[in-house]
């Protein structure tokens, strides 16, 4: 069956199946109508024959009364002659048999009625070849059959037309979608199909359009990502190349400043490549997580206070508020530390001298809330929805020296999501920002 249908086009498949189904239905209805008509006609004929037989019996009874057996014979012969039927008359132990008129078609039907006189039972009358069904009523049946045949031919033509239309109606949108899919496969991403037809076809067309739209957007993002990565790599690489050339040509003298600069750019490159690799591995579900249950206060106490010194050097106040009632948390401590560090590093980076950075960790319904609040430069509302995108920086020209590659927040978001959590930010330009993420106590419960 599959081999057969795989070679058929949907249009023809629907056409054939609908035609066969409709033809069968019409045929069955035709046969049923013919059978019913025949049955009804036969019933009608039988009743009519009985009525005739009773009428003859009535005449014979009167004849018996007025003229006895001779008159009965005469009436019987006349009647048989008039009707062209044969008859057998039994009366008073006498029998009269009259053969049907020559040439009268034979019918197997027999109609027998009793004969009564005033004194009681007289005998019986049998019509051996009554004016029956054949051939008198067959023209009626033939007319019905002709009408049925005409109706069947008309219905069949209509059925074929409807099947053809149905086949086209069902297959045309699929062919349209198939053409559009081939165009997408050839690389055209902006292909859209018209949305009309039945609700399923409309739904499919809408889904297809959404899919191509998402595909085009993803491709645009990928192009942009590659361009941004190239841009991010170009600056440190050109600085490194220029410096190395200058050192080689003797234009620049090797010294601590030169080494520090080269190391800084190299570190930037290494971090960029590491972050990109981490995100790529996480996207492919190949980033290994080392789950461990940690006592949060002990764990935070091991590294959070070191920021005091960094903040002090930057002329910033650094405050921490770790709640006392924190339960143990199942997490990958290294990834989680990286996630918080990215927030804190940004706050230190984007908060001018004299400002403050506050880190708080507290319980929230179902999980732990990590929050980093600063009194820094803040962020324009238009940037907020894009902040956690890869390589996104609020400085579109990527000219500001203080900025990184724009991967830190994307990495944090990814790590938090791997823990089943969510991230967010509130900010006002010139007033500061609050970055937060929430991790559920049990990652399995949140997913
Ligand atoms: P970057 O390495 O550039 O800091 P991030 O992904 O960490 O990349 O941050 C993306 C952008 O978000 C930054 O370039 C910066 O414009 C903005 N941003 C992040 N944190 C802050 C903050 N605390 N205050 C102001 N702007 C911030």
Ligand 1 centre to CA of 261 (Å) is 22
Ligand 1 centre to CA of 257 (Å) is 27
Instruction: Determine the length of the chain.
Output: 447
Best of 345, 346, 406, 414 to mutate for ligand 1, by most ligand atoms within 8 A of CB?
A: 346
Best of 409, 429, 435 to mutate for ligand 1, by most ligand atoms within 8 A of CB?
A: 409
Q: Write 200-205 long-range contacts (CB < 8 A, 24+).
A: 201/173, 204/173, 204/177, 205/173, 205/177
Ligand 1 centre to CA of 370 (Å) is 17
Counting from 1 in the atom list of ligand 1, the atom nearest the Cα of 378 is 25
Best of 374, 393, 413 to mutate for ligand 1, by most ligand atoms within 8 A of CB?
A: 393
The span from the CA of 174 to the CA of 192, in Å, is 14
CB of 133 closer than 8 Å to CB of 41: yes
Candidates 350, 335, 327; CA nearest to 413 is: 335
**Residues facing 95 on adjacent strands:** 90
Angle at which helices 138-185 and 10-83 pack, to 10 degrees?
180
pLDDT at 404: 73
Question: What is the full per-residue pLDDT of the chain (447 aa) written as tens digits?
Answer: 565 566 667 778 888 888 888 888 888 988 898 888 888 887 887 788 888 888 999 999 889 888 889 999 999 999 888 887 888 999 888 999 888 777 665 555 678 888 888 788 889 998 886 655 455 567 777 888 888 889 888 988 888 888 888 888 888 888 899 999 999 999 888 889 999 888 988 999 999 999 999 999 889 888 888 888 888 888 889 989 998 899 889 888 888 888 888 898 899 899 889 999 999 999 899 999 999 999 999 999 999 999 999 999 999 999 999 999 899 999 999 999 999 999 999 999 999 999 999 999 999 998 999 999 999 999 999 999 999 998 888 875 544 455 578 899 999 999 999 999 999 999 999 999 999 999 998 765 444
Ligand 1 centre to CA of 338 (Å) is 15
Helix (H) or strand (E) holding 434: strand 432-440
The span from the CA of 356 to the CA of 375, in Å, is 6
Ligand 1 centre to CA of 441 (Å) is 28
pLDDT at 277: 93
Ligand 1 pocket list (CB less than 6 A): 342, 346-347, 350, 374, 376-377, 379, 387, 392-395, 403-410, 433
Counting from 1 in the atom list of ligand 1, the atom nearest the Cα of 351 is 24
In whole angstroms, what separates CA 260 from the centre of its chain?
Answer: 60
Sign of the C-alpha dihedral computed for residues 397, 403, 408 and 409 taken in this order: negative
Ligand 1 centre to CA of 394 (Å) is 7
Residue of minimum CA distance from atom 21 in ligand 1: 346
The span from the CA of 436 to the CA of 183, in Å, is 44
Q: Give the single-character DSSP code of 386.
A: G
pLDDT at 257: 84
The span from the CA of 281 to the CA of 418, in Å, is 12
pLDDT at 210: 94
CB of 212 closer than 8 Å to CB of 184: yes
Q: Give the single-character DSSP code of 433.
A: E
Question: In sequence order, what DSSP letters do the residues of 85-147 get, joined into one string?
Answer: --EEEEETTEEEEEPPPTTPPP----EEEEEEETTEEEEEEEESS-S-STTTTHHHHHHHHHH
Residue of minimum CA distance from atom 20 in ligand 1: 346
pLDDT at 446: 44
In whole angstroms, what separates CA 390 from the centre of its chain?
Answer: 33
Ligand 1 centre to CA of 320 (Å) is 21
Q: Give the single-character DSSP code of 30.
A: H
Q: Which tokens is 198 given? A: 């039945």
Ligand 1 centre to CA of 311 (Å) is 17
Helix (H) or strand (E) holding 427: strand 422-428
Ligand 1 centre to CA of 270 (Å) is 19
Helix (H) or strand (E) holding 191: none
CB of 201 closer than 8 Å to CB of 173: yes
3-class secondary structure, 288: coil
Ligand 1 centre to CA of 19 (Å) is 68
Question: Topology of domain 289-446, per CATH?
Answer: Heat Shock Protein 90 (3.30.565)
CB of 358 closer than 8 Å to CB of 320: yes
Q: Domain boundaries in the chain?
A: 9-188, 289-446
pLDDT at 445: 45
The span from the CA of 292 to the CA of 289, in Å, is 9
Residue of minimum CA distance from atom 4 in ligand 1: 404
CA distances from residue 92 to 95, 122, 205, 215 in whole angstroms, order as listed: 8, 6, 92, 106
Q: Residue 360 CB: number of other CB atoms within 10 A?
A: 16
Counting from 1 in the atom list of ligand 1, the atom nearest the Cα of 406 is 8
Helix (H) or strand (E) holding 360: strand 356-364
- Could you identify the residue written with the tokens 């029956």? 132
Counting from 1 in the atom list of ligand 1, the atom nearest the Cα of 403 is 3
- Could you identify the residue written with the tokens 């520090």? 260
Q: Give the single-character DSSP code of 441.
A: S
């Amino acid at each position: 069956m599959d081999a057969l249908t795989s070679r058929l086009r949907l249009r023809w498949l629907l056409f054939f199946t609908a035609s066969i189904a409709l033809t069968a239905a019409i045929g069955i209805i035709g046969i049923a109508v013919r059978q019913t008509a025949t049955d009804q006609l036969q019933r009608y004929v039988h009743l009519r024959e009985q009525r005739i037989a009773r009428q003859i019996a009535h005449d014979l009874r009167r004849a018996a009364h007025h003229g006895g057996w001779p008159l009965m014979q005469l009436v019987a012969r006349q009647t048989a002659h008039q009707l062209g039927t044969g008859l057998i008359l039994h009366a008073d132990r006498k029998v009269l048999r009259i053969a049907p008129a020559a040439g009268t078609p034979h019918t197997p039907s027999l109609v027998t009625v009793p004969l009564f006189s005033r004194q009681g039972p007289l005998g019986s009358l049998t019509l051996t070849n009554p004016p029956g069904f054949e051939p008198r009523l067959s023209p009626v049946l033939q007319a019905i059959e002709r009408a049925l045949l005409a109706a069947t031919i008309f219905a069949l033509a209509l059925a074929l037309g409807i099947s053809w239309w149905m086949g086209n109606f069902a297959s045309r949108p699929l062919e349209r979608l198939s053409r559009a899919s081939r165009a997408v496969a050839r690389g055209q991403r902006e292909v859209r199909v018209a949305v009309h037809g039945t609700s399923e076809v409309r739904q499919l067309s809408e889904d297809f359009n959404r899919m191509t739209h998402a595909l085009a957007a993803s491709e645009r993002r990928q192009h942009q990502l590659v361009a941004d990565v190239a841009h991010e790599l170009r600056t440190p690489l050109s600085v490194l190349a220029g410096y190395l050339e200058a050192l080689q040509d003797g234009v620049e003298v090797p010294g601590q400043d030169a080494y520090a600069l080269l190391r800084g750019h190299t570190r930037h490159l290494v971090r960029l490549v590491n972050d990109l690799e981490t995100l790529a591995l996480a996207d492919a579900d190949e980033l290994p997580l080392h789950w461990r249950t940690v006592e949060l206060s002990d764990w935070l106490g091991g590294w959070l206070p070191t920021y005091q010194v960094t903040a002090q050097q930057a002329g910033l106040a650094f405050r921490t508020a770790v709640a006392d009632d924190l339960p143990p948390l199942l997490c990958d401590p290294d990834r989680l530390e990286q996630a918080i560090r990215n927030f804190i590093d940004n706050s230190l980076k984007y908060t001018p001298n004299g400002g403050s950075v506050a880190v708080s960790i507290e319980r929230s319904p179902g999980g732990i809330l990590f929050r980093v609040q600063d009194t820094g430069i803040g962020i324009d509302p238009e940037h907020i929805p894009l902040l956690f995108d890869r390589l996104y920086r609020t400085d579109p020209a990527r000219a500001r020296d203080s900025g990184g590659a724009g991967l830190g927040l994307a990495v944090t978001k990814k790590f938090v999501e791997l823990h089943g959590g969510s991230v967010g930010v509130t900010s006002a330009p010139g007033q500061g920002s609050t970055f937060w993420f929430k991790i559920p106590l049990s990652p399995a419960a949140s997913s």
